[in-house]
């Protein structure tokens, strides 16, 4: 194709849009924080059954579901009622979401609305060419211990999400306890800022061409056989490739279970300045291979910016995770920590 017609084709055919869709109260609030932090090229949605909550939310699009049956008053924790309610809007929503390349579906598990819609929509979109990435906030343990309805909703939704395989971003509210001296709203903002980094770095990886490119097709191809997968994110000084990998694995708010017995698949992308050497890149990749015991399948990409940078960033998709029993997944996590700078 000649360059003129190539440009015309690209502008007509390359969909470069991404969506972040908040489902229920927690999902909508998180999406609103993402919008406030700014993610160019990403459209935000808030979908809820609770009109009063939705009215307070800022998003590019807001959708009230199930007015006929739920009267805008929320789901009262009833997942079944939400699933009946969505039938009215399902086709329209599906059509709109299928216009995106990647759609992040965000919900806090435990309530009725988000816990019903997250697995439902994720499963619906799996058959399309849009990559749907579920983002689930796992509830605080005190909620699970004291509220059987929340517990059942969270367990069911999480089990359904893990069974689907694919990329699942499960953020642990329990891991936020290291920030417990901060006001609650601020703690949730810390978590949402972390989610913002996850979304931004994944979008950046597939959206901006690199020297060794990881495009959207490679990401989808990688995910197809990767089983249950998660995202790792790290930022370190260029002199510290080994620490970069260690940090990505340990200082995370994501909750996942690396199966030590099994060799997973890894897609790793390193982003750095013009001073990033081949030696540094190799040390990062060696550290990844060593840590994951020679992954069965490894793919990597890299991008260097025109100016020198002291910091490099690793974005990695790790597959072959163990599906936990839901009970295990909602158990309080052991080590926690986060030192990745959080946008204030
Ligand atoms: N409202 C709110 N709830 C959160 C947030 N993060 C996690 N949660 C949890 O989200 C779970 C579901 O609550 P909610 O989103 O209101 O339920 P839904 O509206 O019925 O989907 C609860 O267990 C909360 O602990 C947050 O940022 N805001
Ligand atoms: Mg709610």
Mean pLDDT by 10 residues, the chain (344 residues): 77 77 98 93 94 97 91 93 89 94 96 97 94 94 87 94 94 88 94 95 88 87 91 96 94 86 86 96 94 87 95 95 74 53 39
pTM of the model: 0.91
The first and second tokens of residue 54, run together, are 């939705």
- The rounded Å distance from CA 50 to ligand 2 centre is 6
Asked, for residue 152, whether it belongs to a domain, the answer is: yes
Q: Which two tokens stand for residue 83?
A: 């699933």
State the Cα angle at 297 between 261 and 260, rounded to 5°: 15
Distance from residue 113's CA to the centre of ligand 2 (Å): 7
Q: Which pLDDT does position 11 carry in this prediction?
A: 73
Of the candidates 38, 62, 42, the one whose C-alpha atom is nearest the C-alpha of residue 52 is: 62
**Calpha distance 173→188 (Å, rounded):** 9
| Nearest CA, atom 27, ligand 1 | 26
- Identify whether the C-beta of residue 111 lies closer than 8 Å to the C-beta of residue 153: yes
Same domain, 42 and 114: yes
Q: Candidates 107, 110, 144: which one to mutate for ligand 1, based on the most atoms within 8 Å of Cβ?
A: 110
What is the number of structural domains in the chain? 2
The predicted pLDDT at position 336 comes to 46
Residues 156 and 25 in one domain: yes
Amino acid 296: pLDDT:
83
> Is residue 61 domain-shared with residue 145, that is, in the same domain?
yes
Q: How far apart are CA 44 and CA 42, in angstroms?
A: 6
Ligand 2 mean position, distance from CA 77 (Å): 8
Q: Give the pLDDT of residue 326.
A: 63
What is the model's pLDDT at position 333? Answer: 58
Say if residue 32 is in the same domain as residue 157. yes
Strands 311-318 and 265-272 come out as: antiparallel
Instruction: Indicate whether 286 belongs to any domain.
Output: yes
Nearest CA, atom 28, ligand 1: 26
Per-residue model confidence (pLDDT) at position 18: 94
Which residues are near ligand 1 (CB < 6 Å)?
24-26, 29-30, 75, 107-108, 110-114, 137, 139-140, 143, 150, 173, 188
Instruction: Give 111's DSSP letter.
Output: B
Same-domain pairing of 152 and 221: no
Positive or negative: CA dihedral 222, 226, 228, 233: negative
Residues in the chain: 344
Task: For the chain, give the longest Cα–Cα distance.
Answer: 65
Q: What's the domain range around 28? A: 18-164
The domain that holds 277 is classified in CATH as 3.30.1330.20
Q: Is 213 helix (H, G, I), strand (E, B) or coil?
A: coil
User: Which pLDDT score, from 0 to 100, does residue 141 have?
Assistant: 84
CATH code, domain with 144: 3.40.50.1440
Residues 140 and 232 both lie in one domain: no
Q: Whose CA is nearest to atom 25 of ligand 1?
A: 139
Beta strands in the chain (DSSP E): 18-23, 42-48, 61-64, 102-108, 131-138, 166-167, 169-172, 228-237, 265-272, 297-304, 311-318
Q: Rounded CA gap, 269 and 281, in Å?
A: 10
Sign of torsion over alpha carbons 202, 204, 207, 211: negative
Minimal-distance CA residue to ligand 1 atom 16: 25
Q: How far is the CA of 90 from the centre of ligand 2 (A)?
A: 20
Residue 175 within any structural domain of the chain: no
Assess whether 158 and 47 both reside in one domain: yes
H and E: helices and strands count for the chain: 14, 11
In whole angstroms, give the CA distance from residue 94 to residue 121. 8
Q: Does a structural domain hold residue 72?
A: yes
252 and 149 within one domain = no
| Mutation pick for ligand 1 pocket among 51, 111, 116, 147 (CB with most ligand atoms within 8 Å) | 111
């Amino acid at each position: 194709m000649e360059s003129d017609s190539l440009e015309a084709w690209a502008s007509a055919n390359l969909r470069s849009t991404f969506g972040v869709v908040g489902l229920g109260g927690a999902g909508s609030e998180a999406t609103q924080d993402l919008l406030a932090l700014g993610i160019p090229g990403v459209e935000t949605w808030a979908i809820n059954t609770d009109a009063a909550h939705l009215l307070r939310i800022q998003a590019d699009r807001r959708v009230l579901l199930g007015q006929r049956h739920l009267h805008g008053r929320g789901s009262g924790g009833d997942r079944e009622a939400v699933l009946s309610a969505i039938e009215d809007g399902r086709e329209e929503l599906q059509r709109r979401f299928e216009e995106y390349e990647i759609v992040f579906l965000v919900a806090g598990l435990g309530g009725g609305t988000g816990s019903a819609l997250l697995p439902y929509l994720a499963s619906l979109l799996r058959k399309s060419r849009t990559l749907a990435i579920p983002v689930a906030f796992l509830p605080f343990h005190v909620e699970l211990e004291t509220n059987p309805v929340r517990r059942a909703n969270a367990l069911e939704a999480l089990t359904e999400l893990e069974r689907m395989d694919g990329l699942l971003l499960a953020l642990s509210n329990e891991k936020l306890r290291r920030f417990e001296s901060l006001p609650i709203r601020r703690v949730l903002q810390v978590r949402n800022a972390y989610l913002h980094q996850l979304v931004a770095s994944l979008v950046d990886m597939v959206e901006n061409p690199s020297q060794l490119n990881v495009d959207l097709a490679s990401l989808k191809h990688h995910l197809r056989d990767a089983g249950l997968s998660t995202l790792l994110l790290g930022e370190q000084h260029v002199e510290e490739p080994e620490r970069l990998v260690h940090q990505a694995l340990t200082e995370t708010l994501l909750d996942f279970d690396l199966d030590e017995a099994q060799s997973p698949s890894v897609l790793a992308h390193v982003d750095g300045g013009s001073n990033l050497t081949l030696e540094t890149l190799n040390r990062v990749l060696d550290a990844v291979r060593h840590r994951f015991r020679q992954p069965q399948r490894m793919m990597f990409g890299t991008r260097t910016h025109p100016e020198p940078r002291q910091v490099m960033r690793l974005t990695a998709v790790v597959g072959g995770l163990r599906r936990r029993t839901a009970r295990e997944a909602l158990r309080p996590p052991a080590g926690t920590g986060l030192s990745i700078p959080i946008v204030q």
